[in-house]
């Protein structure tokens, strides 16, 4: 008689039941792990979408500010054709004639400064907060990949923002003649904004199956 035949029926049934239960548990565990992995990936994508939204908002605010800068510069060029000296930036041009602004010029300058204070600074602070809590994207060592490029640019952004906040603190609050916080202009006060960061974020999001805020807006026809 084989060993299998010598096993009591009730014991064989119990063993089979235990095996089935164990297999069911393993299958459930695997399914839970897959769900958790998908959840983690969704959280990662949501985090990067948050940065994409901040970058887009910052870009739009910056463009709006540049339009006002152009208007102020054109007004000054028309009224004071002999200024400015070659090779100096907007901020230096504006501060040199701050004391003799017309009411219209002073209003434009005030709006430009307000955008720096209440538009760009809150967005830069939000990006700094995001970077300080990121444990996913800044630590990638995948050289030659989109994730690797993203890590390099995010770390460069962190340095840029630290310098921006430092210059803002020294430049804006007590000096009403200052309106802009630029780092990589003619004054060369620091590290510029990382070129192509928006596109790199979009590339990584696409590889994760996500989409950037601009893509979502286009999908809705806005």
d(CA 52, CA 28): 36
d(CA 137, CA 148): 9
Given this model, what pLDDT does residue 37 score? 47
Q: Is 49 helix (H, G, I), strand (E, B) or coil?
A: helix
Given this model, what pLDDT does residue 74 score? 92
Please indicate whether residue 21 or residue 149 has the higher confidence score (pLDDT).
Answer: 149
Please indicate whether residue 28 or residue 41 has the higher confidence score (pLDDT).
Answer: 41
Model pLDDT for residues 85-99, shown as the tens digit of each residue? 656 788 988 999 999
Query: Residue 82: is it exposed, middle or buried by C-beta count within 10 angstroms (0-12/13-18/19+)?
Result: exposed
- Nearest residue to 42 (alpha-carbon basis) of 185, 221, 220, 205: 205
Q: How far is CA 176 from CA 3, 27, 68, 90, 138, in A?
A: 94, 66, 17, 15, 37
Please indicate whether residue 19 or residue 157 has the higher confidence score (pLDDT).
Answer: 157
pLDDT above 60 for 60 = yes
Total number of residues shown for the chain: 222
Return the domain boundaries, the chain. 53-219
Kindly report the pTM of this predicted structure. Answer: 0.76
In order, the DSSP letters of 172-204 are: STT-TT-----SSSTT--SPPPPTTHHHHHHHH
Given this model, what pLDDT does residue 221 score? 43
d(CA 167, CA 39): 40
Model pLDDT for residues 109-142, shown as the tens digit of each residue? 999 999 999 999 999 999 999 999 998 899 877 7
Residue whose tokens read 């009730």: 10
d(CA 91, CA 188): 12
């Amino acid at each position: 008689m084989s060993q299998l035949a010598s096993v009591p029926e009730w014991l064989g049934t119990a063993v089979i039941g235990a095996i089935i239960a164990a297999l069911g548990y393993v299958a459930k565990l695997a399914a839970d792990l897959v769900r958790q992995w998908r959840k983690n990936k969704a959280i990662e994508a949501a985090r990067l979408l948050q940065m994409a939204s901040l970058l887009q908002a910052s870009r739009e605010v910056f463009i709006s500010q540049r339009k006002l800068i152009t208007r102020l510069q054109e007004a000054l060029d028309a009224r004071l054709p002999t200024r400015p000296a070659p090779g100096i930036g907007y901020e230096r041009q504006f501060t040199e004639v701050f004391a003799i602004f017309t009411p219209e010029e002073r209003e434009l300058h005030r709006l430009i400064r307000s955008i720096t204070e209440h538009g760009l600074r809150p967005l830069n602070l939000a990006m700094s907060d995001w970077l300080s809590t990121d444990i996913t994207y800044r630590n990638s060592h995948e050289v030659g990949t989109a994730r690797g490029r993203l890590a390099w640019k995010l770390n460069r952004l962190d340095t840029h923002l630290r310098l921006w906040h430092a210059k803002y603190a020294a430049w804006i609050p007590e000096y009403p003649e200052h309106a802009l916080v630029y780092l990589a202009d003619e004054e060369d006060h620091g590290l510029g904004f990382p070129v192509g960061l928006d596109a790199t974020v979009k590339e990584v999001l696409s590889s994760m199956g996500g989409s950037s805020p601009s893509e979502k807006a286009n999908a809705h026809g806005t």
